[in-house]
Every structure is written in C-alpha cells, then in structure tokens.
Structure 1
Amino acid sequence: MSAMSYDLRGLKCPLPVIKTRKKMSSLPSGATIRVETTDPLAGIDIPHFCNEDGHELIETERTESGHRFLIRKR
C-alpha cells in the first residue's frame, strides 16, 4: 500500500485537522495518507477526526518531534 505523505509539521491546532480533512476530501475512497505533525494536540485531534468522519486510523506513531498517522479514507 502506497500512502501519500502530507507534512503538517509546524502547524498548531486546529490547522492539522482542518488541512487533513480538506486534503482527504479530494482523495478517492480507500486512499491512504500519512500525516506528519508536531502539534502535541494532534495525538488527540487526528484520531477524533478519523472517528467522527468514519476514516480508518491504521497506525499512530510518536516521532521525535510529534506524531505520524496513517489514515485510510472511507
């Protein structure tokens, strides 16, 4: 599975969720996206966004500077 990378490092809440939602709206169903963030709240906000919008959160990983998420669009 080849995931599109989306670098949102340096952005503060609520921008990572807003930009992820907008990017995902342009993707076909079943597409995967790997989101990189440095915002500490993204660890809560991105999983909540996936749950609310029905996307599959495949993987969450802590990185040296923040979080990395692998999401599949519903």
Structure 2
Amino acid sequence: MDTTFLDARGLNCPLPLLKTRQALRGLAPGALLEVAATDAGSARDIPEYLRQSPHELVRRQDDDREYRFLIRRGEEGQGPERGR
C-alpha cells in the first residue's frame, strides 16, 4: 500500500493538526499517512488527537526539531470517536 505524505513543516499550530485531520478524511480506511512537522505543538497535538480518534499512530520519530508521524487511517464508527 502506498503512503501519502503531508509536509506540514514550517506551519505553526494549529495548522499541522488541522491539515493532518483533513488529509485523513481524504484517505480510505487502512491507508497510511506520513506527516512531517516542525512546530513543537505537533509533538503533543497530533498524538493526542489520534488517541481520541479511530486512527492508529504506527510510528513516531523526532529528529532535530522535526517530528514525523506514520498514521493508519481508521474506520469510521470505530474507536473513541464512535457516536460523535
């Protein structure tokens, strides 16, 4: 399966999170999204959003002020968002 790449480097909070949410909405369940961000808030905001969503954080990598997240798109109606 191909991985979609979202370059959110250089964007300030809350844009990396908003763009991540938007990109996930455009993917099929099970698809992978890799996000690269430089805003320190992303290191907190994106994982917290994923904990409250049906999406899965597959891998996280922090390197010299760059944060990378590999996310698997979840199924609607699954996980903590169910019923919202």
Q: Show the 5 A alignment for 1:3-18.
A: 3-18=3-18
Q: Work out whether 1:29 is the aligned partner of 2:29.
A: yes
Taking only aligned residues, the RMSD between alpha carbons, in angstroms, comes to: 1.0
| Higher gyration radius (CA) | 2
Considering Cα pairs closer than 8 Å and 6+ residues apart, tell me whether 1 or 2 has the greater RCO. Answer: 1
Unaligned runs of 5+ in 2: 75-84
Deviation (angstroms), 1:37: 0.2
TM-score when normalising by structure 1: 0.93
Amino acid aligned to 1:53:
S
Q: Runs in 1 of length 4+ with deviation above 3 angstroms?
A: none
Q: Show the 5 A alignment for 1:1-74.
A: 1-74=1-74
Q: How many residues align?
A: 74
Write the deviation string for residues 30-66 of structure 1: whole angstroms up to 9, x where unpaired: 0001000000011110101111122100001012232
TM-score when normalising by structure 2: 0.82
Cα distance in 1 between the residues matched to 2:5 and 2:63: 15
Aligned-residue sequence identity (percent) comes to: 39
